[in-house]
Structure 1
Amino acid sequence: MRSVQLEEVLGCCVLLFVPMQEVTATSRHYVDRLFDPDPQKVLQGVIDMKNAVIGNNKQKANLIVLGAVPRLLYLLQQSSSSLELRTECAVVLGSLAMGTENNIKSLVDCHIIPALLQGLLSPDLIFIEACLRCLRTVFISPVTPVQLLYTDPTVIPHLMSLLSSSQRTQEYITQIFSHCCKTPEHQTVLFNHGAIQNIAPLLISPSYKVRMQALKCFSVLAYENTQVSMTLVNVLVDGELLSQVFVKMMQRDQPIEMQLTAAKCLTYMCRAGAIRTDDSCIVLKTLPCLVRMCSKEHLLEERVEGAETLAYLMEPDVELQRIASTTDHLVAMLADYFKYPSSVSAITDIKRLDHDLKHAHELRQAAFKLYASLGSNDEDIRKKVCRSPGPPESQTGFHVPAAHTCSVLPPDHRDGEHDGSDRQRSVRVQH
């Protein structure tokens, strides 16, 4: 009996091993062709490799393990390589970067970023776009150290100079900026190299992708930055104040992503002191837009982002809190934030269940932040929250756990061991 079982196991091993040998042999063949003395055969080898890795993460991993990346980077950087070959190398590297996070780590360890940044000095726009596309893919990964963008002080000004080259360069560069602006120091570097004047015209680009990435740039630039926000409030785009451009982007006929990001821009400008809390663009446009995002008609991710941004907007201002508490049944809407995940018996789609489970904690946390912000200054609003059909008392007791960084109780009811000086930020900038 044991011998039969052993044969079955060994048989499975052989069946698994042979295909892996074939895959490895095929991958080795692709890599070997990169070393052919005939430049045309090398070019064809790179093109074939490009076609082989599309949508094939196993093939990508095999090629990386077999050493394809250093050779591709070598060919990309050689002045003797044809422009077509260098461009195809950049395209393949970009495809490899679209695999797993381990792929990205391997590419970064092979110093792909300096090589691609060097490629941006080329006079050929097609090659530049291929390098930028790959850089964009690498930098938007959470495993890539964003500081690598700022190591060479000549990189940021050169990227600014490339913004006017094409819609693709505009899209890729602004996306790189929005993902790599993580600290006040990064904001200062981008600001000092003309980010505002170079990116502002892109808000009226005919390309939605360009407009959206430019908007995200202003969102991360303005976050808790008075200097940037005070500058933005005076910027004109095609003869119109930037704040009014943002207001137009919040209109209901615009994509939700654009409405939310424009609302975040105005929220951050307001919190930085560049726009008054009683300004019509805040009271009549931004606040209603964010309340609208809390509706169950929107995706769970959008509701989380809308609630957190709204909480951040009105946190220091009691009048905004009063307005929000009476706008579109906001308090009642928050009760829905505690209804996820839905009843398992009612869910037939396992993907939906997984999605609900993933976002249930984020929804509750966002709701707690918004409850806390609503009731932080006004007793009448607190009473209204108490009477609302919100979360079960056992979940809150009108005390939010420390993990939620805020409480719906007035300050004198908070834990006496902690004062407001060590409160964490209730909203983090989201890209």
Structure 2
Amino acid sequence: MNSLKHNQAVDELNSSDPAVRVKALRFIKNNIIGNKTKKDLYIQLNVIPKLVKFLKSKDTVDSQVQIQAAIVLGSFAYGGEENVTEIAKHDAIKPLLECISLQNDPRLIEAAARALKAIYKCPTADKNDIFADHHLRDLITLLNPDSLHPKTDRERIASVHTAELAATIIARCCDTNEQQIQIASAGAFPALVKLLTCGFSKAQEAALDALAYLCRENPEFGKAIVETKSETSDSPVKIMLNLIQDKSSTMRLIAAKCLTHLSRANAIGEYSNDITLIVLPTLVKLLDEKGPVREEAPHVLAYLIRDNEELQKAACDSDAVPKLADFVTHVVDQESSYYDPVGDGDKLKENALMALAAISSLTDDGRKLVVEAKIIPHIVAAMSHRSYGIRAAACQCTRSLSRSINILRTSLVDAGVATPLFKLLSDESTDVQATACATLCNLVLDFSPMKKTIMELGGIEKLVELVRSPDNTLRLNAIWALKNLVYQAESDVKEAVMKVLTYQTMENLISDQEIVEVQEQALNLLRNLACTKPIVSLLRCCSLITT
């Protein structure tokens, strides 16, 4: 690659002439858009610190230079997680947040907001700066397009687009309950509900997405959103039910997602029929779409029907299983792309497996349909997939299926699930280990034909090793599996467990300070050891219980 002209463009950023700087920035921008190689080159030429310096020097740098610098930073951020890390390393986030102040040129506000949207798409991006100083307040203000005082139709469209960007940023900063509280306290609900009726589909989609994340697993905020008054006097839920019938598949998906989160937050109990008759069928139909919509629809469907037997039966009746099974068997594996406009095959397969796990978690009808779809061999094969998400989802699917004794003794045995599942207890991902361990709980019960295989593979030693894990979930699942392993077991099995586990470890588990469920399962393990054919005396049991 001839890098002379690129070196020259970077050198021209040092010019005192704003016109020269703008020309160089536009040259860089045009070269790096959609070109990872050129982005890497300019990062190596150390251009990012120069861009950050322009944003920090508000009083001495031409506004056009700042606008172009923000645009270029945004383009770098769309290059992947490594680029976002590089941007953060040079402290670019704070200057970008300063640029969204209403005191600045609306074009600079939009460019900075676009860059922040790209940065916060990265799951590892530090979001603490959003909640410092006045930045959150500025974002909430930008949700109102009138805050930028547009005078022409073109300015009006630009201000609505800025509101869309602000809503998207907010949606990506709701990871914790504390973040939800801070955003809600800043007045997000009325502004986002108002944006639902703005008439611009992309802004409405962004508002729905933000509301969905603000009420996720949060009943209090779910009810607050439902009770927020709109400018049209319609309730937010009715607005969402209208939007779920939109011609845009993206709009239908995000409206379904928001209603799903409200339903899971127990905020719209009076709309239960609409959830069953409108939201669920919409999600199943979206499985026929292409790209990112099809990719996310199974994920939302899985969340909607989880722990709800009635909705799982409705999903079975809607022919969701054959569609999801087709994704597992026929979607071509691909390396995941950070920003892939046509979707991610690996993510689609993972989400499909999670949806199948949800459908078959509580009902025999769901499990029967999964077996009839002839995908159990594909589920077992997915346990060796390069994607840890797919491996974990395959375990979760197996866990749901293993709740049927008949399937456990036939289909799962025939597919040879024990060995690949056992290997996942040593997976590089703690999440996969924990899910595999939870799945193993059903496979080590006394009536399971796979119990002997797992023990011969070294199951006792491995589970005892995991009992000592610093990860709470993994530790809990491991002791749960040991509890099931010794339930109504012969004395030699109990002796083998205690030989590896030791009394001291048992005492430590019973007095575990991290999580009370570990103590509970440790006591259950002790009970199962003592019952039927005990290897420990009742006196010893009593001393352990009172330790």
Flag the 1:288–1:357 CA change in 2: closer, same or farther, 3 A: closer
CA contact (8 A) 2:99 2:109 kept: yes
TM-superposition CA deviations, 1:104-132 (whole Å, max 9, x none): 22211111111111222333212211221
Partner SS state of residue 266, structure 2: coil
Does 2:229 correspond to 1:236? yes
Does 2:339 correspond to 1:325? no
Please state how far the C-alpha of 1:242 moved relative to its aligned partner: 0.9
- What TM-score, normalized to structure 2? 0.62
What's the counterpart of residue 257 of structure 2? 264
TM-superposition CA deviations, 1:228-283 (whole Å, max 9, x none): 111122223211111111111221x4222221221121122112111227633212
The whole-number CA distance in structure 1 between the counterparts of 2:344 and 2:44 is: 37
CA contact (8 A) 1:133 1:172 kept: yes
Flag the 1:293–1:72 CA change in 2: closer, same or farther, 3 A: closer
Flag the 1:155–1:291 CA change in 2: closer, same or farther, 3 A: same
What's the counterpart of residue 366 of structure 1? 354
TM-superposition CA deviations, 1:195-243 (whole Å, max 9, x none): 1111111112222211111111111112111111111222232111111
What's the counterpart of residue 301 of structure 2? 310
Flag the 1:116–1:278 CA change in 2: closer, same or farther, 3 A: closer
CA contact (8 A) 2:226 2:267 kept: yes
Match of 1:210 among 203, 208, 219: 203
CA contact (8 A) 1:371 1:408 kept: no
Please state how far the C-alpha of 1:182 moved relative to its aligned partner: 1.4
Flag the 1:393–1:108 CA change in 2: closer, same or farther, 3 A: closer
Does 2:119 correspond to 1:126? no
TM-superposition CA deviations, 1:33-82 (whole Å, max 9, x none): 12223444334333443344344433332222222222222223221222
The whole-number CA distance in structure 1 between the counterparts of 2:210 and 2:80 is: 26
What's the counterpart of residue 163 of structure 2? 170
CA contact (8 A) 1:226 1:273 kept: yes
Does 2:59 correspond to 1:71? no
Please state how far the C-alpha of 1:407 moved relative to its aligned partner: 0.9
What's the counterpart of residue 81 of structure 2? 101
User: Where do 1:11-410 residues align within 5 Å?
Assistant: 19=1, 22-23=2-3, 25-78=4-57, 79-121=59-101, 122-150=103-131, 152-164=132-144, 165=148, 166-237=159-230, 238-251=232-245, 253-276=246-269, 279-294=272-287, 297-299=288-290, 302-303=293-294, 305-326=296-317, 328-341=318-331, 358=346, 361-362=349-350, 364-373=352-361, 376=362, 378=363, 381=365, 385=369, 389-392=372-375, 394=377, 402-404=395-397, 406-410=399-403
The whole-number CA distance in structure 2 between the counterparts of 1:304 and 1:54 is: 25
The whole-number CA distance in structure 1 between the counterparts of 2:44 and 2:302 is: 47
Flag the 1:317–1:277 CA change in 2: closer, same or farther, 3 A: farther
Identity, % of aligned positions: 26
The whole-number CA distance in structure 1 between the counterparts of 2:201 and 2:175 is: 24
Flag the 1:363–1:160 CA change in 2: closer, same or farther, 3 A: closer
- What TM-score, normalized to structure 1? 0.77
Flag the 1:249–1:406 CA change in 2: closer, same or farther, 3 A: farther
Specify every segment of 5 or more residues in structure 1 that has no aligned partner in the other structure, as ranges.
1-18, 344-353, 423-431
Flag the 1:331–1:168 CA change in 2: closer, same or farther, 3 A: closer
The whole-number CA distance in structure 2 between the counterparts of 1:187 and 1:213 is: 16
CA contact (8 A) 2:14 2:21 kept: yes
Flag the 1:270–1:74 CA change in 2: closer, same or farther, 3 A: same
Larger radius of gyration: 2
**One-letter amino acid of the structure 1 residue matched with residue 290 of structure 2:** L
Partner SS state of residue 93, structure 1: helix
Flag the 1:384–1:208 CA change in 2: closer, same or farther, 3 A: same
TM-superposition CA deviations, 1:267-323 (whole Å, max 9, x none): 2211211122763321221122223234xx333754553334333323333333333
Question: More relative contact order in 1 or in 2 (CA 8 Å, sep 6+)?
Answer: 1
CA contact (8 A) 1:300 1:363 kept: no
**One-letter amino acid of the structure 2 residue matched with residue 203 of structure 1:** L
